[in-house]
Amino acid sequence: MNQSQDSINSNMQDINKISDENLAKLSITNQDYFYHLLKRYEKKMLRYIMRTTDVSFQGAEDITQNIFIKVYENLNDFDSDLKFSSWIYRIAHNEIISQFRKRQSRAQTVSMEDDKGKSLVEIINDTYNLHEDYLSKEMAEKVRDVIALLPMKYKEVLILRYLEERDYSEISDILCKPIGTVAALINRAKKHFKNIAEQNQLSSLL
Amino acid sequence: MTDITKNVLARIKSKGIFPRSCWYFWLRHTLAWIAISIYIILSCIAFGIIIFQIVDADWDLYEYLASNLLSFVTLILPYLWILIMIIVSFLVCYYFRHTKKGYRYNILIVILASFALSVIGGGILYVSGFSEKIDTELNEELDWYERLHQFRHKPWMMPQKGFLYGKVINMKGDRIVINTPIGDRWVVAPPIDFQNRLCEGKMIKLRGHMIGSGAFAADEIRFHEGFRHLPPPPLEDFESIESMKENIPIMRIK
């Protein structure tokens, strides 16, 4: 019993050592590897969808399942020059856009916290030297509304940069845009955020 | 919270989903590159014909053919080919952006690179005479293409001013009969040096003067396809090569 448990633990350690990219290659021929790959991204994808869209948790789960099915179908198209995370986020981005078009409605809310409990408000405020003392719950809600008012392209790029902590090159691969365009988009998104914040009585903090 | 991973694997099993074959993706990417190559070739052809039609325009006669240089330029611009080139360049950019790594390049760089390729390719096609050949073939084979060019040749349809344009439909002795795009028939006396170079079906532009109703005496003939495709004048018409050289500027072959 102990021996088999040790063997399982050893296998798990081995799998944990395998990179996402190699796991993706191995998944083509063995679904067990695909299981482990999905486990690595299950929470990340759910969180990303919840942040970017206004769907319910149930809806986010459905979208995540669709994303994973697409990942499986397109495993042979994965380009090893890319990070696997960039590739799966790209599929997620396309699926979200597709769902967004189907629903014909704008996303309304954004989940505001990252893994460390640091809010988007704080992260973006760092850019504008906001005083953390002023960040009240009420203000967080206002900022959430501001984020919701941002066009999808700005909202997504801010979430990818500051909450998902992706670098410019990864965002370029996810959104399929040149790095220069990504930098300009982030810059414009910040300005847009600032403008809307000013219009929504957040100007005192900017 | 449902176990998404397990659900996904169950769905894959129940629906019999498999990763798509490598060949499927290879074919998709290859087809995209084939489409890009075809569009680039088309763009080169379009640019080659644009150069030809602009260079082939009767710049030396612009004062007679249009009120000023600007109206002459607007008259001779090959709008159809410019439009084709714009559409094809757009398609090149579109397909390139959808290749595996095409998105990494700035759209301006892609447009400029596509334009540069068209200029180089079009230049080569023009210098090799291929552009002239295509334009002439299209002009002779497609009625709508020829009609499209009518406005370019409109100034050449003023016989009273000494300009005439049409297709040679008959050759009798030292006279030829031409049919203008508006359906008029003219009996033309061509310059002697040109008689052996004319054949039925050729589109020609004539400079000269009216000698009566439906009769025209030509001092100069210009061929649609330019000088490169003209058969050389028979040597017996000239006393020597030297005399031929002397005659070339007088003939003003274009």
Confidence band of A143 (pLDDT split at 50, 70, 90) = low
Cβ within 8 Å of residue B63, ≥6 positions away: none
Instruction: With a cut of 90, say whether residue B181 has pLDDT above it.
Output: no
- What CATH number does the domain containing A75 carry? 1.10.1740.10
Confidence band of A4 (pLDDT split at 50, 70, 90) = low
Assess whether A91 and A120 both reside in one domain.
no
**Residue of chain A minimizing CA distance to B26:** A77
C-alpha span between B35 and B42 (Å, rounded)? 11
Instruction: With a cut of 50, say whether residue B252 has pLDDT above it.
Output: no
Do the Cβ atoms of A65 and B7 come within 8 Å? yes
Could you say which of A81, A108, A135 is where a domain stops?
A: A108
Q: How far apart are the first and last CA of chain B?
A: 82
- In the prediction, which pLDDT does A9 show? 59
Assess whether A152 and A92 both reside in one domain.
no
Assess whether A90 and A148 both reside in one domain.
no
Instruction: Tell me the shortest Cα–Cα distance from B167 to chain A, in angstroms.
Output: 54
Both structure tokens of B83:
């439009």
Could you say which of A48, A82, A108 is where a domain stops?
A: A108
Do the Cβ atoms of A181 and B106 come within 8 Å? yes
Instruction: With a cut of 70, say whether residue B149 has pLDDT above it.
Output: yes
Q: Percent of chain A beyond pLDDT 70?
A: 70
Do the Cβ atoms of B19 and A76 come within 8 Å? yes
Collect all residues from A whose CB is shorter than 8 A from any CB in B.
27-28, 31, 34-35, 38-39, 42, 46, 57, 61, 64-65, 68-69, 72-77, 79, 81, 172, 176-181
- In the prediction, which pLDDT does B249 show? 36
Confidence band of A168 (pLDDT split at 50, 70, 90) = very high
How long a stretch of residues is chain A?
A: 206
Give the residue-averaged pLDDT of B12-18. Answer: 92
Assess whether A1 and A102 both reside in one domain.
yes
Assess whether A65 and A134 both reside in one domain.
no
Assess whether A40 and A126 both reside in one domain.
no
Collect all residues from B whose CB is shorter than 8 A from any CB in A.
1-2, 4-5, 7-9, 11-12, 17-22, 24-25, 97, 100-101, 103-107
Chain A residues whose CB is inside 8 A of the B100 CB are 79
Instruction: With a cut of 70, say whether residue B77 has pLDDT above it.
Output: yes
Instruction: With a cut of 60, say whether residue A132 has pLDDT above it.
Output: no
- What CATH number does the domain containing A169 carry? 1.10.10.10
Identify the weakest region by mean pLDDT among B36-40, B85-89, B176-180: B176-180
Instruction: With a cut of 50, say whether residue A150 has pLDDT above it.
Output: yes
Confidence band of A182 (pLDDT split at 50, 70, 90) = very high
Instruction: With a cut of 80, say whether residue B4 has pLDDT above it.
Output: yes
pLDDT single digits (tens) A32-86: 899 999 999 999 999 999 888 888 899 999 999 999 999 999 999 998 889 999 9
pLDDT single digits (tens) A102-129: 776 544 445 554 444 444 555 555 544 4
Both structure tokens of B187:
């009996």
Which residue in B219, B192, B224 sits closest to B206, CA to CA?
B219
Task: Write out the residue limits of the CATH 2.40.50.140 domain(s) in chain B.
Answer: 157-251
Could you say which of A108, A130, A156 is where a domain stops?
A: A108
Assess whether A100 and A138 both reside in one domain.
no
Assess whether A44 and A102 both reside in one domain.
yes
Assess whether A35 and A120 both reside in one domain.
no
Assess whether A59 and A74 both reside in one domain.
yes
Q: Which residue has the higher pLDDT, A203 or B55?
A: B55
- In the prediction, which pLDDT does A104 show? 60
* Domain encompassing residue A55: 1-108
Which residue in A165, A31, A33, A41 sits closest to A92, CA to CA?
A41
Assess whether A6 and A98 both reside in one domain.
yes
The tally of domains found in chain A comes to 2
Q: Is B137 in contact with B150 (CB distance < 8 Å)?
A: no
Which residue in A128, A198, A199 sits closest to A158, CA to CA?
A128
C-alpha span between A13 and A18 (Å, rounded)? 9
Q: Which residue has the higher pLDDT, B238 or A145?
A: A145
Backbone dihedral region for residue B17 (phi beyond 0: left; psi -120 to 50: alpha; all else: beta):
beta
Assess whether A137 and A78 both reside in one domain.
no
**What architecture is the B157-251 domain classified under in CATH?**
Beta Barrel (2.40)
Range list of H helices, A74-151: 84-103, 120-127, 137-149
Q: Please provide the average confidence, as pLDDT, over all residues in chain A.
A: 79
C-alpha span between A150 and A159 (Å, rounded)? 11
> Quick one: DSSP state of residue A119?
B
Q: Is B171 in contact with B199 (CB distance < 8 Å)?
A: yes
How long a stretch of residues is chain B?
A: 254
Both structure tokens of A35:
């299981």
Instruction: With a cut of 90, say whether residue A199 has pLDDT above it.
Output: no
Instruction: Tell me the shortest Cα–Cα distance from A169 to chain B, in angstroms.
Output: 9
* A77-81: Cβ within 8 A, 24+ apart: A77/B20, A77/B25, A78/A21, A78/A24, A78/A25, A79/B100, A80/A21, A80/A25, A81/B101
C-alpha span between A183 and A187 (Å, rounded)? 6
Instruction: Tell me the shortest Cα–Cα distance from B15 to chain A, in angstroms.
Output: 11
